[in-house]
Amino acid sequence: DTEVTQTPKHLVMGMTNKKSLKCEQHMGHRAMYWYKQKAKKPPELMFVYSYEKLSINESVPSRFSPECPNSSLLNLHLHALQPEDSALYLCASSQGGSAGGMGETQYFGPGTRLLVL
């Protein structure tokens, strides 16, 4: 099973709202990722968690707050977003073995399409 699930599938929020995106995998992977993807562009890495610890933050604004409650779950908390934050948010996971090796093949979820009004 190489499935990564994400909820919700779609989300519309105002600039003053607080919402959360959720991601789950049951492949025993120890690395999990958040990406942001704008239309017709490749995904851009936001955060990487390795063994439930934040290992990479790609200078993402603080209105995005990641959380990894356990090895299977990854959340992205959203607060005071801007219209330019509207995008497809993708979660991915990988085995979390030696960096650059086969363990780093990433499996992606279906994404959450976010619209900020």
Could you tell me which residues come within 8 angstroms of residue 7 by beta carbon, excluding any fewer than 6 positions away? 21, 22, 112
The answer to whether residues 18 and 79 touch, using CB atoms and an 8 Å cutoff, is yes
Q: How far is the CB of 46 from another protein (least distance, A)?
A: 11
Residue from 76, 109, 114, 116 touching another protein (CB under 8 A): that is 109
Q: Which stretch binds another protein (CB under 8 A): 13-21, 62-70, 72-80, 107-115?
A: 107-115
Interface of this chain with another protein, residues 82 to 101, rule: CB under 8 A? 88, 90, 92, 94, 99-101
The amino acid present at 102, given as its one-letter code, is M
Under rule CB under 8 A, residue 41 binds another protein = yes
Q: Which two tokens stand for residue 107?
A: 């499996």
Under rule CB under 8 A, residue 115 binds another protein = no
Cβ atoms within 10 Å of 35's Cβ, excluding its own: 21
Q: Which two tokens stand for residue 11?
A: 């989300």
Residue from 38, 51, 104, 115 touching another protein (CB under 8 A): that is 104
